[in-house]
Amino acid sequence: MGGVNLDFRTPDMLNRPTGRPDRRTFAIISHPDAGKTTLTEKLLLFGGAIHLAGEVKARGQNRRAKSDWMKIEQQRGISVTSSVMTFEHQGVTFNLLDTPGHEDFSEDTYRTLTAVDSAVMVIDAARGIETQTRKLFEVCRLRNVPIITFVNKVDREGREPFELMDEIADKLALDVAPMSWPVGMGGTFEGIFDLIGNKLHRPAATDSGHFEGDSLPFSGLDDPKLGEAVSPEGLAKLHEEAGLALGAYPQFDSDAYLNGDLTPVYFGSALKEFGVAELIAALTALAPSPLPQPSATGTVDPDDKAVSGFIFKVQANMNPQHRDRVAFMRLCSGRFRRGMKLLQPSTGKSIAVHSPILFFAQNRELADEAFPGDIIGIPNHGTLRVGDTLTEDEAIRFTGLPNFAPEILRRVMLVDPTKTKQLRKALDDMAEEGVTQVFHPQIGSQWIVGVVGQLQLEVLISRLEVEYKVDARFEASPWDTARWIASDSEADLKAFIGTHRNAVATDRDGAPVFMAKDMWELNFHENRNPTIRFTATKERV
Ligand code: G4P
């Protein structure tokens, strides 16, 4: 029985840079409680984190590391630490983007995943694929994001590794390639066999929460010396299972992984720091470097000279004293320098980025340059919106950051009518963050909010109350679905809007939206008006 063939890399697809710093920009997708926080913390610690994020539960010593940044947060009155976390390993900088923990599919999550080049999927060994993992996976699939799987908590009783592998393959319709294999689980756990490096990682006798065990090299699963490292039962099981697994599942194939068709599977325990080093090694060796990004005029290559990037997230200030917000830009090409002027094509204006927040910097305040794959936080007063391009090359307009047609439409009712101004401001802010969409009907004065999931409504109500002190209620609206409408014929569009004034609203950019009671009604109007385009997504280009 040999190990896995390592001769699989196709450097061109991995897009490794020459002459500029290398990055891995990724997200972790998982169901709540699978261990995302614990794994994040271990990755940060292991990789010599440049800073620790506020959201990650800081324990003991780690607490100190985040304090400097917290001060900056307080001075600026912003809260950004949890959004991007950065660590370094062997000359590669890793940018880990936090995916919001909403239960519903949210636009926010989708957009965050547009800014990554790959993802790590964390699965609880006792629970397998859960609903949220699956939803986030589907979002990744929409964009063929390559995924490395980490089966967590093997230190506890879990399900049989084969069962888990098959479940990933079946439920996600994804090929699975075993990269490591556990020797027992829970009470019978004796370590993890690295099928690539032919090493056995064994736990230490005492449990410090860090990996302090040993890693023993072998010539392969057949190496007779393995019998001295694990119990006869453990060895028999490893031989049988891992041998079978290597034959039963496909070998790792870089192209299939990069296309999002195959996931390499690692077993480990975030809590005991087992398999974390292998995961970082996998991200370093297998995951793609910053990839070319789609734009209206073809892809933009990271090696292109002109600096360009897109805004994938806007975070409004959590501190009611200040109304600053931070726009998060993924840098796609060029070498960004502090203070440089970039064109914002959606407004036709240029903005000077004087005080970017550079997450990868040892000392954020002194950092003054960034490279493709990096995330730059740009404090602003609402000029920058999700989907905006910022560029030195005026021809570039990034695509792929759509607004989604809402699936739930509600009328907003103010309990105290004197708070109209605050309500407008709050809805505007939250629309900007992608928490909701706001529509202004042609007839009537009530705003309509549109969301893609029920949870977003709850978030909205609670934020209105807590952050804006606005007591509002949502009422059912007569509409169930909405579509942006456009036409090559101005006259046709005008006529359509004229005859359906009670079902037409404008979004916050002033674009017309048609609201329908149900899909039947929508189809009816689509068929009746072939010159009108009804679209479920809208891009800001
Ligand atoms: P999440 O961010 O995905 O929601 O999960 P989180 O890391 O918070 O982990 C959820 C629970 O699972 C935590 O226990 C955590 O300690 C535990 N956990 C994470 N990784 C492992 C692992 O590899 N092995 C084992 N045995 N447990 C793991 P908790 O009791 O809910 O929280 P805490 O008091 O430990 O913080």
At what angle are helices 232-248 and 161-172 packed, to 10 degrees? 20
Q: Ligand 1: does its nearest atom lie under 6 Å from the Cβ of 35?
A: yes
**Which tokens sit at 161?**
């590794």
Q: Is it the case that residue 52 has pLDDT exceeding 60? A: no
CA–CA distance, 194 with 215 (Å, rounded to integer): 10
Nearest CA owner, ligand 1 atom 29: 33
CATH of 21-285, one of 1.20.1050.10, 3.40.50.620, 3.40.50.300, 3.40.220.10: 3.40.50.300
Report how far ligand 1's centroid is from the alpha carbon of 39 (Å).
9
Q: Where are the domains of the chain?
A: 21-285, 308-391, 402-539
Q: Is it the case that residue 206 has pLDDT exceeding 90? A: no
> What is the tens place of the pLDDT at every residue in 159-182?
999 999 999 999 999 999 999 999
> What is the tens place of the pLDDT at every residue in 217-260?
999 999 999 999 999 999 999 999 999 999 999 999 999 999 99
Would you say the CATH fold of 402-539 matches that of 21-285?
no
Report how far ligand 1's centroid is from the alpha carbon of 127 (Å).
13
CB atoms within 10 A of CB 431: 23
Position 71 scores a pLDDT of 41
CATH topology of domain 402-539: Alpha-Beta Plaits (3.30.70)
Q: Is it the case that residue 211 has pLDDT exceeding 80? A: no
Q: Ligand 1: does its nearest atom lie under 6 Å from the Cβ of 153?
A: yes
Task: Write down the residue that tokens 């995961």 correspond to.
Answer: 279
Nearest ligand 1 atom to the CA of 122 is 3
Q: Ligand 1: does its nearest atom lie under 6 Å from the Cβ of 308?
A: no
Position 142 scores a pLDDT of 80
CA 221 to chain centre: 37
Position 400 scores a pLDDT of 75
Position 401 scores a pLDDT of 72
Counting residues of the chain whose pLDDT is more than 70, the rounded percentage is 84
Name the strand (E) or helix (H) holding 135. Answer: helix 131-142
CATH of 308-391, one of 3.30.310.80, 3.40.605.10, 3.90.1110.10, 3.40.50.300: 3.40.50.300
Whole-structure pTM value: 0.81
Report how far ligand 1's centroid is from the alpha carbon of 269 (Å).
10
CA–CA distance, 307 with 181 (Å, rounded to integer): 44
> What is the tens place of the pLDDT at every residue in 297-326?
889 999 999 999 999 988 775 455 556 678
Task: Write down the residue that tokens 């000279």 correspond to.
Answer: 305
Nearest CA owner, ligand 1 atom 24: 153
Q: Ligand 1: does its nearest atom lie under 6 Å from the Cβ of 37?
A: yes
Report how far ligand 1's centroid is from the alpha carbon of 17 (Å).
36
CA–CA distance, 182 with 128 (Å, rounded to integer): 15
Nearest CA to 511 out of 481, 531, 541, 480 is that of 541
